[in-house]
Chains A and B, each alone.
Chain A
Amino acid sequence: MEDVVRPGNLSADGRLATADDATLVAACAERVPGAFQELLSRYRRPAVTLAYQMMGNLEDAEDVAQEAFVRVFQAIPRFRGQASFSTWLYRIVTNLCLGSRRRRKATVALDAVREPRASDSPSRQVTEALLTRQVLGAMAPELRAILLLRDQEGLSYTEIAEALRLPLGTVRSRLSKARTAFRQMWRKLSESGEEQS
């Protein structure tokens, strides 16, 4: 007899941690105690990291990620599962970031990643991380979003199209534009850095 996993009895038999996302989402929609916490523990870091790279500082990023999880919790009974849960979550996070940035109409410096301290050796990794943050901060938010979804979160073109509600062709061309912009700004900033040193 095949063991059928039902969302309702996940909490009782302690299988939340091993349930797949779809089962967990169904359990969360039925308000099974602990199901939302398990989703939170799985997607806390990707959500905050994406928001951080979009917003530029950790405080705003955590506020956005918190708001995204609240929206997920409220809307999950209506989630039909056309896209994967992660794609849906990334869409909410990205939209909140873009909306938030539009409201502020200001670009903040990416400053929440630990700054190199005096005791740190000025390694190439630290320099590159600082340069990456500078380049991301200088990019247009829409280009930054598509670049992060592809190259940081590893979404497919189809998933990006679902997350950003764009045609596939637009995803392709915008991603190319975003990568080229990143590459050009990286080159420009690294050259200016070399001149200063």
Chain B
Amino acid sequence: MTCRLYEEQLSSYLDGELPARRAARLDAHLKTCPHCRAELTALGGIAGRLRAVSSQVQVSHDFDRRVIRAVGYWHVTGWQKPVRSYLKPLVILALFLLAMMGAVWHFFTRPLGPPLPEPQPAISAVAPVVPGASVPPMQDPEAR
């Protein structure tokens, strides 16, 4: 059997997945073939290379939050979040209603039309009698 045929079995041999009889034959070949031994070592090193790269991957700090938001917070956590999630629209609704009530109150309480003129004090035809003042003598119009 040539090295090429043994090479095809190296991967399964590495994982202990080769049937016993084939594994024994490959064992014997590896003792005499430095090329296949080097290939086996190289294949065995792939896992380490992949894990070296994957160990550098940094998952974003907000990943969980994004997943939970996509799933729906209520389903995941129970009743805590919905109370808070309903709070905001309720506050907005309350503020809107207050604003509407303010507008209605302002509309119905403001005077209609242009402002009325200030009322003037009535002019008295008879001069007020001041106590102590000398009263002029009455004139008889027929005395002339």
State whether A41 touches B64 (Cβ < 8 A).
yes
Known interface pairs A151-B46, A172-B17; A128-B57 also in contact (CB < 8 Å): no
> Are B46 and A49 in contact, CB atoms less than 8 angstroms apart?
no
Residues of A within 8 A of B70 (CB): 66, 69-70
Inter-chain contacts of A147 with B (CB < 8 A):
46, 50
- Give the distance in Å from the alpha carbon of A133 to the alpha carbon of B52 in the complex: 11
Q: How far is the CA of A116 from the CA of B11 in the complex (A)?
A: 32
Give residues 74-119 of B contacting A (CB, 8 Å).
Answer: 75-78, 80
Q: Is the CB of B63 within 8 A of A66?
A: yes
Q: Is residue B47 contacting chain A, with contact meaning CB distance below 8 A?
A: yes
Once A175-B11, A182-B46 are accepted as A-B contacts, the answer to whether A62 and B77 lie under 8 Å apart by CB is no
Total number of B residues with any Cβ neighbor in A under 8 Å:
36
CA distance A40 to B62 in the complex (A): 12
Given known A-B contacts A73-B71, A114-B56, A176 and B50 have beta carbons under 8 A apart: no
> B75–A176 contact, CB under 8 A?
no
What separation, in Å, do the CA atoms of A31 and B49 have in the docked complex?
39
Q: Could you give 19 example pairs across A and B, Cβ below 8 Å?
A: A33-B78, A36-B75, A37-B77, A49-B57, A53-B53, A65-B63, A66-B63, A66-B70, A69-B71, A73-B75, A128-B49, A129-B49, A132-B49, A132-B50, A136-B53, A172-B17, A175-B11, A176-B12, A179-B46
Contact surface of B with A, Cβ cutoff 8 Å: 7-12, 15, 17, 39, 42-43, 46-47, 49-54, 56-60, 63-64, 66-68, 70-71, 75-78, 80
